[in-house]
């Protein structure tokens, strides 16, 4: 059996491990347009800020590819898929045949048309090379602006701030991490950023980028005509599934590549996983692209297992994220901004500690934890399993949230169930 | 059975919170491999209205903590045990967000997400050896599913229901 995996990040690595659960012999070829062994992509901001050494950036040990007998082709772009002949071709014309193909090409930054984008020292922030380029030109620079206050923008701002630059984030939405955080947690995080030197301008965006006589960026003009100076500009408006490769095929896609529960696309023998795939979303009647590490790995693992002839279903994901913002831990899972009358909220806040649960009938559908995040996984499990938690809901009162009993109630529940929701 | 893959399991009965397991874990010093030198127990006892609940890594077969780990520091080793390379843990808490047992602790200052590593060099895990009430046990993973089934059958025959999963 010949396997070809396009992409060498979390989903691709998951697929290798899934394939090797069943097939020790098959021929695996992995192709990536990046020049690195699989690395911890979300850690590029830590690498930029000097908190993680380059040698510690790798997601798997150096022996991973050899141990799993993977032929790794780095720094080469796949240009075309010929599904009738079961071949893919690289930019240099090299052809590879496959019996099973996985598309785990991830996402690519979305850069909106802004006047002046051609200036130098403007970067996106999704690849290790982005961080390396920024680090190279950062010495001596004093001010940076980040357009976009999502997770990528936030992380880029932290990295730049750690390098000693004054950083301003410009976010069109009402707060930082506007989708994941609610108003209360957003305010806590905003203050945490401000206290640590990162400025946030919410409710605005850039309408023009300014450059100096040498073509280097020197500032931006906001939609309210206010001017901000900067020598480095990061554009982190958003990331889109990297689906350019399927144009020559009949593979169906919306925002991302459509897959069934086995992670197979509309063409037999071609699978997709990770940030490029539009997969089962347990909180949504429609499939969606949820671009986060745990789901990328899970989807890749399921895809690999099925590519090797197994039969395993992807159980579906939820949007969730955990970040630490200058020693303040923040977790968001599922629906964090209640949208309908059917959503019932229980919440508690004191200082930097915030706990919020969002219920829909007898099910937990979302949670926010700030300041104290222990036992967050118990909540995640309730949300992902879609379990009826009537008796638990009764115990999780606002009084319990207020007192320190939150942890022991959750733990008691987890251990009473003794893995019933786990296995 | 050093080298064997096993998991610590909770037996029936009520933990009275004597704390010997925590003491034994600290004495075993297994948690010193963090970035700092603080020794933190891999097991904790939480008080509930019916007694105490030992909280410890169950070495889940489909370990959500390893799946969620961004840095790759938490992974399953060749012996089937979910272990952690604490020098590479960066404290993002993705594992805490995914552990269904709440068995991972956020060590704030050191930015590591700490859990029980299973006493790989000991015949019997230190906490299990110290548990006088027999609440903590350990089992080879391969033997576990049959043991669980036998136990469930015994429970059924004796009509005991107290530690059945909540409906």
Q: For position B119, which CATH number holds?
A: 3.30.70.20
In a domain, residue B48? The reply is: yes
Q: Which residues in chain B come in under a pLDDT of 70?
A: 1-6, 12, 29-38, 140-167
Domain of B60 in residue numbering reads as 6-158
Query: Is the alpha carbon torsion for A247, A252, A255, A256 positive or negative?
Result: negative
Element (H, E) at B156: helix B141-158
Q: Which of A373, A361, A364, A372 is nearest to A336 (CA)?
A: A364
The reply to whether residue A417 touches residue B102, judged by beta carbons under 8 angstroms, is no
Q: In this structure, what token pair is assigned to residue B53?
A: 């609940």
Rounded Cα gap, residues B144 and B142, in angstroms:
6
* Predicted pLDDT of residue B3: 40
Residue A241 has pLDDT above 60, yes or no: yes
What residue in A sits closest to B90 (Cα-Cα)?
A52
Range A71-75 average pLDDT: 98
- pTM of the full structure: 0.92
Confidence of residue A57 (pLDDT cuts 50, 70, 90): very high
What residue in A sits closest to B69 (Cα-Cα)?
A294
Element (H, E) at B47: strand B44-48
Q: In chain A, positions 330-369, which contact chain B (CB-CB < 8 Å)?
A: 331, 333
In a domain, residue B167? The reply is: no
CB-hemisphere CA count at 13 Å for A276? 28
State the average pLDDT for chain A. Answer: 94
Per the structure, the count of domains in chain B is: 1
A415 touches chain B (CB under 8 A): yes
Per-residue pLDDT tens digits for A165-207: 999 999 999 999 999 999 999 999 999 999 999 999 999 999 9
B145 touches chain A (CB under 8 A): no
In a domain, residue B131? The reply is: yes
In a domain, residue B145? The reply is: yes
The reply to whether residue A322 touches residue B96, judged by beta carbons under 8 angstroms, is yes
Residue A34 has pLDDT above 80, yes or no: yes
* Predicted pLDDT of residue B31: 53
Confidence of residue A46 (pLDDT cuts 50, 70, 90): very high
The partner residue sitting opposite B68, judged by closest CB among A46, A293, A324, is A293
In a domain, residue B165? The reply is: no
Q: What separation in angstroms does the CA of A217 have from each of A132, A237, A327, B163?
A: 18, 18, 32, 65
What residue in A sits closest to B93 (Cα-Cα)?
A322
Q: Which of A395, A368, A367, A369 is nearest to A383 (CA)?
A: A367
Beta bridge partners of A169: A146, A200
In a domain, residue B1? The reply is: no
In a domain, residue B63? The reply is: yes
Task: Write the DSSP assignment of A359-381 as a string of letters.
Answer: EETTEEEEEEEES--TTHHHHHH
Burial label, A267 (beta-carbon count in 10 A; 0-12, 13-18, 19+): middle
Q: Collect all residues of chain A within an 8 Å Cβ-Cβ radius of residue B152.
A: none
The partner residue sitting opposite B10, judged by closest CB among A60, A377, A415, is A415
The answer to whether the complex's ipTM is over 0.90 is yes
CB-hemisphere CA count at 13 Å for A131? 29
Range A333-343 average pLDDT: 92
* Predicted pLDDT of residue A91: 94
Rounded Cα gap, residues A113 and B78, in angstroms:
50
Beta carbons within 8 Å of A312's beta carbon, 6+ residues apart? A262, A302, A305, A306
In a domain, residue B166? The reply is: no
Rounded Cα gap, residues A32 and A101, in angstroms:
14
């Amino acid at each position: 059996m010949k396997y070809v995996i396009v992409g060498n990040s979390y989903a691709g690595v998951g697929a290798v491990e899934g394939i090797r659960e069943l097939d020790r012999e098959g021929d695996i070829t992995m192709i990536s347009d990046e020049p690195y062994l699989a690395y911890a992509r979300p850690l590029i901001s830590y690498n930029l800020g000097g908190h993680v050494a380059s040698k510690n950036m790798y997601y798997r040990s150096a022996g991973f590819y050899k141990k799993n007998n993977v032929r790794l082709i780095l720094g080469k772009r796949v240009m075309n898929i010929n599904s009738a002949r079961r071949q893919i071709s690289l930019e240099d014309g090299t052809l590879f045949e496959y019996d099973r193909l996985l598309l785990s090409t991830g996402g690519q930054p979305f850069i909106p048309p802004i006047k002046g984008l051609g200036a130098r020292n403007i970067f996106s922030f999704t690849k290790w090379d982005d961080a390396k380029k920024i680090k190279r030109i950062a010495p001596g620079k004093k001010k940076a602006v980040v357009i976009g206050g999502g997770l990528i923008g936030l992380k880029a701002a932290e990295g730049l701030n750690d390098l000693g630059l004054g950083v301003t984030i410009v976010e069109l939405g009402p707060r930082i991490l506007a989708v994941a955080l609610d108003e209360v947690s957003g305010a806590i995080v905003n203050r945490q950023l401000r206290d640590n030197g990162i400025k946030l301008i919410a409710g605005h965006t850039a309408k023009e980028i300014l450059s100096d006589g040498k073509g280097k960026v020197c500032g931006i003009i906001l939609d309210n005509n206010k001017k901000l100076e900067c020598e480095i500009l990061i554009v982190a408006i958003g990331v889109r599934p990297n689906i350019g490769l399927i144009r020559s095929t009949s593979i169906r896609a919306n925002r991302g590549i459509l897959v069934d529960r086995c992670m197979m696309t509309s063409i037999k023998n071609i699978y997709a996983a990770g940030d490029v795939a539009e997969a089962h979303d347990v909180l949504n009647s429609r499939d969606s692209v949820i671009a986060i590490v745990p789901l990328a790995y899970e989807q890749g693992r399921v895809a690999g297992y099925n590519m090797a002839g197994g039969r395993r279903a992807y159980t579906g994901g939820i949007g969730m994220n955990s970040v630490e913002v200058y020693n303040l831990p923040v977790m968001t899972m599922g629906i964090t901004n209640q949208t309908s009358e059917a959503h019932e909220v229980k919440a508690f806040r004191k200082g930097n500690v915030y706990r919020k649960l969002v219920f829909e009938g007898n099910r937990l559908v979302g949670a926010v934890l700030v300041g104290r995040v222990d036992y967050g996984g118990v909540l995640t499990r309730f949300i992902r399993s879609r379990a009826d938690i009537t008796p638990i809901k009764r115990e999780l009162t606002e009084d319990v949230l207020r007192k320190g009993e939150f942890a022991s109630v959750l733990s008691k529940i987890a251990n009473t169930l003794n893995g019933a929701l786990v296995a | 059975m050093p080298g064997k893959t096993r998991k610590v399991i909770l037996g029936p009965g009520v933990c009275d919170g004597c704390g010997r397991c925590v003491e034994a874990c600290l004495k075993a010093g297994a948690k010193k491999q963090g970035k700092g030198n603080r020794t933190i127990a891999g097991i904790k006892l939480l008080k509930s209205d019916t007694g105490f609940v030992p909280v410890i890594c169950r070495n889940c077969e489909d370990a959500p903590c390893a799946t969620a780990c961004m840095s790759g520091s938490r992974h399953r080793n060749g012996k089937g045990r979910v272990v952690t390379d604490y020098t590479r843990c960066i404290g993002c808490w993705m594992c805490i967000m995914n552990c269904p047992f709440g068995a991972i602790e956020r060590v704030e200052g050191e930015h590591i997400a700490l859990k029980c590593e299973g006493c790989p060099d000991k015949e019997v895990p230190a906490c299990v050896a110290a548990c006088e009430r027999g609440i903590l046990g350990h089992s080879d993973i391969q033997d576990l599913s049959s043991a669980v089934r036998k136990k469930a059958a015994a429970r059924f025959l004796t009509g005991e229901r107290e530690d059945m999963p909540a409906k």
